[in-house]
Structure 1
Amino acid sequence: MKLEKRSIEFVPHNERYGRPRRLFTIWFSSNFQITALMVGTASGLSFGYTLLGLLLGNLIGTVFMAAHSAQGPQLGVPQMIQSRAQFGVYGAAIPLLVMVTAAVLFLAASGVLMRDALKALLPMSDNQAIVLVGVLTFIIGFVGYELIHRLGAWMSLLSTLVFASALGLILMHPAGAAAGPLPVAGFSFAAFNLVIAQAASWTLGYGPYVADYSRYLPASVSTRATFWSTYGGCALGSFAMMALGALLGLAIPAALAHDPATAIAGLFGHWAPLALAVIALGVIQYNVLCLYSAYMSSVTIFGAFGGLKYVTHTAKALVMAALSVAATLIAIATQYRFDTFFSDILIGQLYLLIPWSAINLVDYYWVCRGHYDVGALYEPQGRYGRFNRRTLAVYAVSIIGTVPFMKLSFYTGFVAQWLGADISWAMGLVLAGALYCMVNSRGAPVAAPLQKSLQK
């Protein structure tokens, strides 16, 4: 299989290929893995309320994620390159830094989560297991786009076989579960809202890079087909895995006290090593998406200030290696306080990425209606300029405006404390979208057609 030759540049029409159904498998498999399972655990609610919260969070969050995906075939550029149209060629570096940071932190979290599973497969120390996750992620990510899609298709099948079988074994053999019926907890608005926010955060977090995996599709692919292929794969995969996590947390809580991957694999008896290998590969595939997109965002930042439009294989290897090393070091440093670390990542990224998502979607679907000068996205002197001060101001105000609604392990805003719940994700979405519409209602640049030279 050949190495991917494109990076942050426009994908010419004669190199476009594939069908929207590829998007279903890559997003289904990327979510139908053990990292997403952790989102559904330990909600403090009954099983029914937990499932309802997870369902609502996934249905809401995936709308915005899939709407970003639909931009890929139409523009043929990575998601955050298109973001230069709103923030300016240099100004887009600000949300890009947030994106890179979030992706690296998720890489680190997944490395910790797979540590004990790999140790069960191979004799190694905690640190060596985390390093191995980083190495495997780097190799697949370096090969690039086509391998990522093919791996997604295979993992959709393999992960379904493993986790569907695990569900059947749990239901058929309750002896391994907690005695009696599932525990019933009272309803808590704060806990219910947290479940919704974390589930929505999971899918919303793909927004800044989801179009990276649809940009090779032909421009003739309809927006509807791209949207629903992405939406169906992501929503179904993430909700199913989170629901399994909720069941595991309530029926077999001891499984989460140690390691959910080895606990699930243990259900398979002599086949446990094979099941564990599939589970580990599923997490590595998710990690590859994080690494690939962190790489794309990093070179987009460098490209803005250095005039870079093409990335060599050597440069790609160096950037990916640096990101992998950073994630590995963070994972090693945080591995023994993982639970709090993972929860703060889920919610913290939401605070910073929700305003960006609202701005990007409002601009694409409402202000510019999908028409951009793609060539100008690479020119600081072009129509989009270096910095779009109005957009940057909207972004900053939107984040500051949601601070009172935020709730983290180390900080609780006064509104969140008063409500007993964190609704900052919804406030950030509404505030950023409304403010961006206001500042662009008059005097905003008129959208231009796609640059003809890039359509050939």
Structure 2
Amino acid sequence: MSRIQTVRKSGPVIERRSIDFVPHGERHGKPFGQFTLWFGANMQITAIVTGALAVIFGADAFWGIIGLFIGNILGGTVMALHAAQGPKLGLPQMISSRAQFGVFGAVVPLVLVIIMYLGFAATGAVLAGQAVGQIIPTGHPAVGVIIFGALTVLVATLGYKYIHALGRISTVVGILGFTYLAVQLFLKHDVGAVLGTGGFAFPTFLLAISLSAGWQLTYGPYVADYSRYLPANTPAGKTFLSCFAGSVLGAQWSMTLGALFAAIAMPKGHEFLDGQVAFVGELSGGGAIAILLYLVIVVGKLTVNTLNAYGGYMTILTSVSAFTRQLRFAPWVRFAYVIGFIAVSVIIAIAASTDFISNFKNFVLLLLMVFIPWSSINLVDFWLVSKEKVDVPALYDPKGRYGAWNVPALLTYALGVAIQIPFLAQTMYTGPITPLLGGADISWLVGLVVTAAVYYPVARRFQRPPAEMVYPAEETPVAAPPVVEPVETPTV
């Protein structure tokens, strides 16, 4: 059997690959691993806070939960379509953006992706730091944030294999911990009394949809990073369903708890706003059980923060390599980049923790504005224009098929961002059309539809996709020959 056909069952202790193509001989894993990774990544305190925001900013608990579910379905569909690209390409997600924007042009959305990773790493560190401080009395919130940052560096440096292992652990402890919280919630509070008391309001209903859709959509720029080691012949549908189910179910479970927590806490003086982690500990009953729940919070946040650090490191390398033409980087380079990335996120976390809730809401909605056009362009190009055919070597060559700058795609991206401005409803700016909609923010939906509608005919005219998938030299996947049972020759 050839080297290409041989699939290893596990990788080295420390991952060797970074932004380069994963050879077919190193592919391993099953689609179900995507389910546990994304389910575990969503069973965490920041998802609970996102669900709480829907109620805190005016939605009725019942309709807020419905809106969150719709947003998770819509955003999860886009997110999972990105994930399904991983096995086919064998590349990090943002490298594939060079097929749409050009080798240099892809750096434009890459810079925004790096900012996203930093923002989520920082906001996640705030809540995880609170949990660490509850487990280990540190005397200062910053100490908990720093300890959590060190744990993130450890797992992100080890790489892909250990990130997936952490996802499996997070899935198990998340199910146990969040089930216990749900039971305690129904035992200690009259949940039925807070459902349906506020009535339906369209603007806040749309806000709930936007919050959860934004939560899912912001996984798009790195979701394929964690499916790229799957064998190239993995059915796209299985990868899609595994990621979709894991992310949507995990997020909806967490966000539903958050919406109910906020609905119960608000009449009593906004306890949830004042200390989200402490509220969870109090609900658990305190003592040893509370410590275990704080550990659940830390494991869940560690999972998703590792995704941010790992994805952030590869996004920075992708930007750098566009100009240096370097394809491979030593493990120590990952360690250095991850430390630098986490150090910056820790500084941001310590500085921004005072007004965390308000800042986080604005951050999520702002990310929708800049990532919706990127998602739309990337998905339309891969699934409808290129039809899953990419010239992988050309992604690293500014003089190749995709060029250095794809001006039509970049202009379409700029249009996709600009078209959303009149529909924005944010603290810093409210678009002129927003009041006509009762204050509802539909900018993300406008950006998604308009960008796709404009980009498709533009790409059909200007893009030059290959007729077949082009892999690096000597890496074209070969179907394994059929197994033929040996036939014994009669002895005469």
Smaller-chain TM-score bracket: over 0.9
The structure 1 residue matched to 2:246, chosen from 203, 219, 233, is: 233
Q: Quick one: distance in 2 between partners of 1:180 and 1:193?
A: 23
The structure 1 residue matched to 2:123, chosen from 102, 109, 114, is: 109
Contact 1:111/1:331 (8 A) holds in 2: yes
- CA-based RMSD of the aligned residues comes to 1.6
The structure 2 residue matched to 1:383, chosen from 387, 391, 401, is: 401
Matched length: 454
Greater CA drift, 256-265 or 34-43: 256-265
> Match of 2:389?
371
Q: Give, in angstroms, the shift of residue 85 of structure 1.
A: 0.3
Write the letter of the residue equivalent to 1:364: F
> Match of 1:166?
181
Q: Give, in angstroms, the shift of residue 179 of structure 1.
A: 11
Q: 1:233 to 1:455 in 2, by over 3 A?
A: same
Q: Give, in angstroms, the shift of residue 207 of structure 1.
A: 0.4
The structure 1 residue matched to 2:29, chosen from 1, 18, 22, is: 18
Contact 1:58/1:203 (8 A) holds in 2: yes
The structure 2 residue matched to 1:157, chosen from 157, 172, 178, is: 172
Aligned-residue identity in percent: 37
Q: Give, in angstroms, the shift of residue 43 of structure 1.
A: 4.2
Quick check: which has more Rg, 1 or 2?
2
Contact 1:29/1:155 (8 A) holds in 2: yes
CA deviation map 1:49-83 (0-9, x unaligned): 01110110000000000000000001111111111
Q: Verify: 1:425 aligned to 2:444, yes or no.
A: yes
> Match of 2:92?
78
Q: Quick one: distance in 1 between partners of 2:421 and 2:216?
A: 22
Please give the secondary structure, in 2, of the residue aligned with 1:414: coil
Q: Quick one: distance in 1 between partners of 2:378 and 2:31?
A: 22
Q: Verify: 1:37 aligned to 2:48, yes or no.
A: yes
Q: 1:197 to 1:181 in 2, by over 3 A?
A: closer
TM-score of the aligned structures, taking structure 1 as reference length: 0.96
Contact 1:182/1:251 (8 A) holds in 2: no
Q: Verify: 1:143 aligned to 2:164, yes or no.
A: no
The structure 2 residue matched to 1:439, chosen from 448, 458, 470, is: 458
Q: Verify: 1:87 aligned to 2:106, yes or no.
A: no
> Match of 1:191?
204
Q: Give, in angstroms, the shift of residue 129 of structure 1.
A: 1.5
TM-score of the aligned structures, taking structure 2 as reference length: 0.90
CA deviation map 1:239-270 (0-9, x unaligned): 11000101111123454133222322331433
Please give the secondary structure, in 2, of the residue aligned with 1:418: helix
Contact 2:390/2:465 (8 A) holds in 1: no
Q: 1:25 to 1:446 in 2, by over 3 A?
A: closer
Q: Quick one: distance in 2 between partners of 1:443 and 1:277?
A: 52
> Match of 2:295?
277
Q: Give, in angstroms, the shift of residue 455 of structure 1.
A: 2.3
Q: 1:401 to 1:181 in 2, by over 3 A?
A: closer
CA deviation map 1:366-423 (0-9, x unaligned): 0000001101011111111111011001001111111111121111111123222110
The unaligned stretches of length 5 or more in structure 2 are 1-11, 478-492
> Match of 1:393?
411
Contact 1:28/1:233 (8 A) holds in 2: yes
Q: Give, in angstroms, the shift of residue 184 of structure 1.
A: 1.1
Q: 1:365 to 1:182 in 2, by over 3 A?
A: closer
Contact 1:362/1:433 (8 A) holds in 2: yes
Write the letter of the residue equivalent to 1:75: L
Q: Which runs of 4+ in 1 moved over 3 A?
A: 177-183, 252-255
The structure 1 residue matched to 2:147, chosen from 128, 132, 143, is: 132
Contact 1:178/1:252 (8 A) holds in 2: no
CA deviation map 1:204-258 (0-9, x unaligned): 1000110000000001110000000000000000011000101111123454133
The structure 2 residue matched to 1:200, chosen from 213, 218, 225, is: 213
The unaligned stretches of length 5 or more in structure 1 are none
Q: Quick one: distance in 2 between partners of 1:275 and 1:53?
A: 27
> Match of 1:325?
343
Contact 1:183/1:250 (8 A) holds in 2: no
Q: Quick one: distance in 2 between partners of 1:56 and 1:289?
A: 25
CA deviation map 1:253-305 (0-9, x unaligned): 45413322232233143321122112112111111111111111110000111
> Match of 1:455?
476
Q: Quick one: distance in 2 between partners of 1:12 and 1:179?
A: 54
